[in-house]
Amino acid sequence: MKIIYIIIGILILVFIIIQIWALSIRTGIESYPFTVEKKYDNFEIRNYEASLFTSVKINTKDYKVGSSKGFSALGGYIFGANEKNQKISMTSPVTMSLGDTMEVMFLVPKEYNKDNLPKPNQKNIDFKEEPAKRVAAITFGGWADSEKIEKYKKELILYLDKEGISYTNDFLFMGYNPPFDMIGRKNEVIVVLDLK
């Protein structure tokens, strides 16, 4: 019986160490810059800066398939699968379009621009300039999946309609945590607002 308690204690200790390590590596990660314009009870209005992204299009609407294939391609690029075998810092969040096909995007660190980024080894990876935009954002915790993302997208639409805020059909999912984070997970669904 003592051995079982020792094993359980060791497993709990390992879990805690991994979570502390995950938290420590997240603190230095560059994020997509925005300012909050207005907070509501269940969502907020934000203004995002124009930014450069690496992107890959995946022919699916399914979150699990799109995130796996997209992260694999873009992760490979930033971990050195490029013409210079150069590593590029990870940024946050991983952004995914929510349309008939999925575009997965990583923010490019500020030190780079289109001219000094190494060329990807994979031809399906592009560099994309995202213009400044005004969005509405709803946040949720836990593990994301297609059903949860759709649920929060519908909730965001209801809140925006209730407030009379016009929006486009340009919805995005943002995931902030690496896969080994078990606690404190943060996800968002955002939509670009009409300029009216």
Quote the pTM value: 0.85
φ, ψ of residue 58 to 5 degrees: the values are -120, 130
pLDDT at 4: 78
What 3 state SS string does the chain have? CHHHHHHHHHHHHHHHHHHHHHHHHHCCCEECCEEEEEECCCCEEEEECCEEEEEEEECCCCHHHHHHHHHHHHHHHHCCCECCCCCCCCEECEEEECCCCEEEEEECCCCCCCCCCCCECCCCEEEEEECCEEEEEEEEECCCCHHHHHHHHHHHHHHHHHHCCCEEEEEEEEECCCCCCCCCCEEEEEEEECCC
pLDDT per residue over 41-91, tens digit each?
999 999 999 999 999 999 998 999 999 999 999 999 999 999 999 999 999
- Contact at 8 Å (CB) between 63 and 147? no
Q: Are 23 and 184 in contact (CB under 8 A)?
A: yes
Model confidence over 139-184: pLDDT tens digits? Answer: 999 999 999 999 999 999 999 999 999 999 999 999 998 777 777 8
Q: What is the mean pLDDT of the chain?
A: 90
The answer to whether 78 and 106 have CB atoms below 8 angstroms apart is yes
Q: Which pLDDT does position 183 carry in this prediction?
A: 78
